[in-house]
Amino acid sequence: MDELTKAMKIAFSSEFTYYLKAHFYHWNVEGPDFSQYHDLFGKIYEEVYGSIDAFAENIRKLGAYTPGSYTRFSVLSIIQEETKVPTKDLMVAELLRDGEVMVEMLRKVFQLAESAGEHGISDFLAARMDAHQKHNWMLRSSLK
């Protein structure tokens, strides 16, 4: 169970960092199609943020404490935080890359949860993978 708990904390920290990056892009996107991308990034960050509390509760169900500081998130997250304001196209590409990383990581954590018999957590992780795959489809389509 320790391996699952550790993986859940990494996934949670990465999800929070992904949320923060999407929100940052929402605030700072510019260009003639500003409204379209402002809305897209807004939909993504709102959906991801909506999962944060349930993610934390799933960690608590494992009997562990949830990370809750930017310092701890930065240590655990496999998603890198954004410190500069990139162009709109780079924002989309970066969020897509991160979304693909999230799906792959969540898939591995899902397998750990299944192996541990934690099917409720598996269901939650499957829904998170599905949500990121939908975000990735929208971002990928925006780059074409």
pLDDT in tens, 44-88: 999 999 999 999 999 999 999 999 999 999 999 999 999 999 999
* pTM beyond cutoff 0.85: yes
How many CA atoms are closer than 13 Å to the CA of 78, on its beta-carbon side? 17
Those residues with Cβ within 8 angstroms of residue 23's Cβ, 6 or more apart along the chain or in another chain: 41, 45, 49
SS3 call for 45: helix
Tokens of 113: 């949860």
Q: How many helices (H) and strands (E) are present in the chain, helices listed first?
A: 5, 0
The answer, yes or no, to whether residue 101 has pLDDT greater than 80, is yes
Distance CA 144, CA 141 (A): 5
Q: What backbone torsions phi and psi does residue 80 show, to the nearest 5 degrees?
A: -85, 135
- Burial label, 43 (beta-carbon count in 10 A; 0-12, 13-18, 19+): middle
Q: So what's the pLDDT on residue 56?
A: 98
Those residues with Cβ within 8 angstroms of residue 2's Cβ, 6 or more apart along the chain or in another chain: none
